[in-house]
Amino acid sequence: MVFNILILLLGLTYSQECQPYGIRLFLGHYFSYLRNTQDVIRIVFNTKQECKEQFILELQENLSSEKLMISSMTYYETQLLNMTKIYEKNLTTNFTYETYIHTFKIGFGNINIEDSTSYNYTIISKVNSNQYGPYKFDVPMSESEQKILVFGDMDSNWVQFQSKDTFDWLENEVKQDKRYDTILFTGDMAYDLESKNCQQGDNWLRNISTFTSRYPFMAAFGNHDWGNNTFFDFFRANFGTLYLKEYNTEHYLNDFFSFDVGMVHFIQFNPIKIVYKNDPYNITPLIVEQMRNDLILANQNRAKVPWIIVYTHYPIYCTVPKNDQCINNFKYLSAFEDLFVEFKVDLYLSGHVHTYQRNKPYYQNATANYEQIDDVISQYKYPVQIIEGAAGTDYGEQNQTYPDAPFIEIQNPDHGVGIITIKNSTHLHFQHVTVSNNKIIDSIWLDRSSYQSTSKSQGFEISMWIIFGLLILITGISIYFKIHQGKRVKKNILGDTLTMVVS
């Protein structure tokens, strides 16, 4: 009898310790420059214990032939996040938190992206046959329009329930099977991830799986995410996204990542050390260089991926009184502003201020040229800037707007989220929704057709000049050749043409 109860109890603890929680999706390196076809979608979850080789992932796919195809995956990566160890030598902290993070990487070997883009997935325990799911994901399609959710500054501390209306709204979108290609989270979650011995972050993971099990969650690094030692340990391990190793240095942990979804190139960067004036190792030039190199590549790919959206936690223009960042970010981040102008970035999204705010295109604290007819903004020389920091948090100021300023187009204090719809290569639609009543309270279009036509005609002109130049060159060569008729001379001319091409 006692023995039976013991076994029962053991079984119970075992299944609890191995119960998946915090189920979440991320876009894999198929969407970064690596274009890795074995890493399209990542399905990630945590368990309290290691639970080695215990899980199977089952994918169900609805083929166009109306046949249901089921495939199973048994391989996943497991990573231990041992906060006890990380803070072991720190006498001022007392962490005793461990969690195991499991990652299934779904690649083209497992899914048939040609035939269908929606998949159901179920996590199955081999030990007790418990099933978790079915959940669902969509592979972002490259051809038709894209829809993206954007929000930030959100907790799940059910004390003042400030984020409850946003959670409810998101849950409803999932219930209605709305399709979003990804969530851009503009930073600051759980307030703070490592508070209360990381229980805050652990609860947050459990709570967000309502919507992160359905939509990929691509998070920017917020100042409330950086943890007790400012190394973002909990954040990196649990929300780790598409870092590229070559920029990792001792003092710069490579927070930068970028990815393409359909017609948009997204760039996330983390200037925390710059805006808090705490950059003893001067990593700023490294982030600027990384951003520049990324934008060069993105611009070369512009015919295919015309839109460029930069997101981060920190706004460049805001009006929180006496706030150093609101006053000076345009100076601190001026090297980035210059890149946005040079490479014609379309949209700059941030959080940090707990409100919704849409700004005019602004550059170095002054209006940048743009045209607006009704709700259509075009010929902008600088990105439109939007603050989406109103998802709800118990921390800091609530339901506020801030003093007006020449750059502010609209502010709204109510909890809400942004929805970006990329209609086609020239038109992007942005809407801000108040979550409590699902009302759209702000809506604009970006029209980049002027850039498209100028870059096209520029391209055309350039190619005409090249052809013209080549014609002259060929004529020159043939005349020269006719006069001199020798192999040595021919070699020299080839040398000259080569230099010309390079310059």
Ligand X SMILES: *[C@@H]1O[C@H](CO)[C@@H](O)[C@H](O)[C@H]1NC(C)=O
Interacting span for ligand X (CB under 6 A) from 28-36, 84-92, 318-326, 347-355:
84-92
Q: State yes or no: residue 134 binds ligand X (CB under 6 A).
A: yes
Between 400 and 478, CB nearer to ligand X: 400
Q: State yes or no: residue 455 binds ligand X (CB under 6 A).
A: no
Compute the C-alpha angle 254/258/259, nearest 5°: 145
Torsion of Cα atoms, 120 then 265 then 259 then 412, to 10°: -70
Q: State yes or no: residue 85 binds ligand X (CB under 6 A).
A: yes
Q: State yes or no: residue 399 binds ligand X (CB under 6 A).
A: yes
Helices (H) and strands (E) in the chain, counts: 11, 25
Q: State yes or no: residue 93 binds ligand X (CB under 6 A).
A: yes
Instruction: Please select the residue that binds ligand X; options are 47, 125, 207, 238, rule is CB under 6 A.
Output: 207
Strand bridging mode 384-388 / 356-359: antiparallel
| Site track 330-369 with ligand X (rule: CB under 6 A), x = hit | -----------------------------------x----
Residue 260's SS3 state is: strand
Quick one: tokens of 290?
A: 């990384």
Strand bridging mode 439-447 / 376-378: parallel
Interacting span for ligand X (CB under 6 A) from 106-114, 237-245, 352-360, 420-428:
420-428
Residue 234 to residue 238: CA distance in whole angstroms: 6
Instruction: Please select the residue that binds ligand X; options are 178, 179, 292, 427, rule is CB under 6 A.
Output: 427
Q: State yes or no: residue 254 binds ligand X (CB under 6 A).
A: no
Classify burial at 403, counting beta carbons within 10 Å of its beta carbon; exposed 0-12, middle 13-18, buried 19 or more: exposed
Instruction: Compute the least distance from the CB of residue 295 to ligand X, in Å.
Output: 24
Nearest to 108 by CA among 44, 36, 213: 36
Between 405 and 477, CB nearer to ligand X: 405
Quick one: tokens of 307?
A: 């839109």
Nearest to 214 by CA among 242, 175, 164: 175
Q: State yes or no: residue 385 binds ligand X (CB under 6 A).
A: no
C-beta separation of 428 from 307 below 8 A: yes
| Site track 216-245 with ligand X (rule: CB under 6 A), x = hit | ------------xx----------------
Q: State yes or no: residue 403 binds ligand X (CB under 6 A).
A: no
Q: State yes or no: residue 253 binds ligand X (CB under 6 A).
A: no
Question: Closest residue (Cβ) to ligand X?
Answer: 206
Q: What are phi and psi of 436, to 5 degrees?
A: -65, -30
Instruction: Please select the residue that binds ligand X; options are 415, 417, 420, 428, rule is CB under 6 A.
Output: 415
Residue 286 to residue 39: CA distance in whole angstroms: 27
C-beta separation of 348 from 418 below 8 A: no
Instruction: Compute the least distance from the CB of residue 485 to ligand X, in Å.
Output: 54
Interacting span for ligand X (CB under 6 A) from 61-69, 124-132, 237-245, 285-293:
61-69
Residue 350 to residue 348: CA distance in whole angstroms: 7
Instruction: Please select the residue that binds ligand X; options are 15, 117, 120, 497, rule is CB under 6 A.
Output: 120
Q: Which residues bind ligand X (CB under 6 A)?
A: 60, 62, 66, 68, 80, 82, 84-85, 88, 90, 92-94, 98, 120, 134, 136, 156-158, 165, 203, 206-207, 228-229, 365, 398-399, 405-406, 414-415, 423-424, 426-427, 436
